[in-house]
């Protein structure tokens, strides 16, 4: 499956790009809060269970979180051994 030149430059495919946009939009709406990855996943799967997500979907979601951190559109902190994600300082431009 071909990807766009922009996706190539950003090292992501359509699935990762879709998750980047969804997660970023959610974080913008909740800019005063931070969420674990499980809490974020639960926004799109009410019955979230890590065993029920397809491996490719889970991988794309995880890579999207990493891209948001890389772009500084999200921040991550470890609190009591749990990763929390919040809106970053840079607006997302893809």
Taking the mean position of all CA atoms in its chain, how far away is CA 47? 18
User: What does the block give as tokens for 67?
Assistant: 């891209």
**pTM for this one?**
0.86
Confidence of residue 1 (pLDDT cuts 50, 70, 90): confident
State how far the alpha carbon of 57 is from the alpha carbons of 20, 30, 52, 71, 79, in Å. 12, 23, 10, 21, 26
User: What does the block give as tokens for 78?
Assistant: 């470890």
Nearest to 37 by CA among 66, 73, 80: 66
Confidence of residue 50 (pLDDT cuts 50, 70, 90): low
pLDDT digits (tens, 9 = 90+) for 28-39: 999 999 999 999
pLDDT digits (tens, 9 = 90+) for 9-29: 999 999 999 999 999 999 999
């Amino acid at each position: 499956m071909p990807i766009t030149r922009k996706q190539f430059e950003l090292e992501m495919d359509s699935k990762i790009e879709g998750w980047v946009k969804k997660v970023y939009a959610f974080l913008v709406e909740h800019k005063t809060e931070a969420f674990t990855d499980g809490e974020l996943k639960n926004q799109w799967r009410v019955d979230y269970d890590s065993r029920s997500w397809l491996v490719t979907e889970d991988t794309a979601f995880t890579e999207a979180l990493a891209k948001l951190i890389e772009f500084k559109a999200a921040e991550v902190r470890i609190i009591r051994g749990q990763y929390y994600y919040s809106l970053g300082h840079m607006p997302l431009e893809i």
